[in-house]
Amino acid sequence: MKLFVGLGNPGAQYAFQRHNVGFMAVDAIAAAHDFPSWRKRFHGVATEAKLGGETVLLLKPQTYMNESGRSVGEAVRFYKLDPADVIAFHDELDLAPGKIRVKTGGGTAGHNGLKSLTAHIGNDYVRVRIGIGHPGNRALVRDYVLHDFAKADHAWLEPLLGGMAEAAPDLAQGATDKFQSFVAHTVQSEAEAEAPPEPAPRQRRAKPSAEKTKEPVAGGTLSSMLRRWLGS
């Protein structure tokens, strides 16, 4: 069994903040793979289903970011899991927006959610570091992470969430390189699709052609949900 934990703060006022991208990730996974309805468990909300043949519990602690480990610790003890079975999705200031990295163990880089997890279950859990970029000044970090994603961020955030959701079975099976590669390709492909076409050479005139319909990144249901969610 695997425990996928989204790190964030409960409440509608926090729902779209950069610090809540971990919540967004597990919400996208639940929607893409038809998980049952969320229900209250372990001082959080949880839902359980199969991903890639592996039983996966999705958990969103409702203890606020700084006490996330209390919720996760309860789930770990209940299911007798090893820290390596826990995969935490969290925002990462030191990665560019739209980038992800998967690693086991390591430091917390001042992230209070990770600090709390480490205090309750040890350090050897897996982290999916979701890049949100850095404001450029340490004094601005708090306001930056506790601020909603900008409209311009939607261009990379939707394919990022969709890619993580679609590749979640690979992550559940431990195929982290495959998971990372798929997400990176998804984000890059969307960026290329959104880029304006290069102008034709002056001596030539481009022939008109029918516009192709772009396929949704992660299926109609998830794509529609994300577009409604992101207000685009």
Q: Give the three-state DSSP class for 212.
A: coil
Task: List the beta bridge partners of residue 55.
Answer: 50
44-51 sheet: strands from edge to edge: 39-41, 44-51, 54-61, 2-6, 86-92, 126-131, 100-104
Active-site option among 19, 33, 111, 120: 19
Tokens encoding 208 = 């008109």
- Output the CA torsion sign for 74, 79, 85, 90: negative
Buried b (16+ CB within 10 A) or exposed e, 54-81: bebbbbbbbbbbebbbbbbbbbbeeeeb
19 is catalytic: yes
For residue 104, what is the enclosing H or E element? Answer: strand 100-104
Instruction: Give the whole-angstrom CA distance, residue 167 versus residue 175.
Output: 10
The catalytic residue positions are: 19
